[in-house]
Amino acid sequence: MSPATSRSNDSVSSAKMRRPYKVAEAIKSWIVEQGLQPGDKLPHEQTLMELFGMSKGTIRETMRVLEAQGLIVTRTGPKGGAFINAVSEPMASSLLSNYFFFNKLSVKDIYQLRCLLEPELVASLAGNMSEEDLARLEANIQKYAQPALDAEGERLQHIDSLQFHIILAELAGNELLGFIIRFMVRMLTDLTVYRRLYEPPNHELWEQGFMHQKDLIVALREGRSDDARDIMREHMEVAKKLMEAQEAEMARRFMLHAP
Reported pTM: 0.76
Q: pLDDT tens digits for the chain (259 residues)?
A: 554 444 444 444 445 558 899 999 999 999 999 999 999 999 999 999 999 999 999 999 999 999 988 899 999 888 889 999 988 888 888 888 888 877 777 889 999 999 999 999 999 999 999 999 999 999 999 999 999 999 899 999 999 999 999 999 999 999 999 999 999 999 898 888 877 777 777 889 999 999 999 999 999 999 999 999 999 999 999 999 988 888 776 666 655 554 5
| Among 194, 193, 228, 197, residue whose Cα is nearest residue 213 | 228
Backbone phi, psi, residue 75, to 5°: -130, 145
pLDDT at 92: 86
Q: Whole-angstrom Cα distance, residue 46 to residue 234?
A: 60
Q: Whole-angstrom Cα distance, residue 143 to residue 166?
A: 15
Coil, strand, or helix at residue 59? Answer: helix
Contacts of 40 (CB under 8 A, 6+ apart): 83, 84
Coil, strand, or helix at residue 105? Answer: coil
pLDDT at 235: 97
Cα 102 off chain centre by:
16
Q: Are 115 and 236 in contact (CB under 8 A)?
A: yes
Domain ranges of the chain: 3-84, 90-257
Q: Whole-angstrom Cα distance, residue 121 to residue 186?
A: 17
- The domain defined by 90-257 folds into Four Helix Bundle (Hemerythrin (Met), subunit A) (1.20.120)
* CATH, range 3-84: 1.10.10.10
In angstroms, what CA-CA distances link 15 with 20, 81, 251? Answer: 9, 28, 44
Q: Whole-angstrom Cα distance, residue 8 to residue 18?
A: 15
DSSP-assigned beta bridge partners for residue 2: none
pLDDT at 9: 47
Residue 72 parent element (H or E)? strand 72-75
In angstroms, what CA-CA distances link 12 with 6, 8, 16, 17, 57? Answer: 10, 6, 6, 9, 16
Helix boundaries (H) for the chain? 3-34, 45-52, 56-68, 89-99, 107-125, 131-141, 151-170, 175-194, 203-222, 225-257
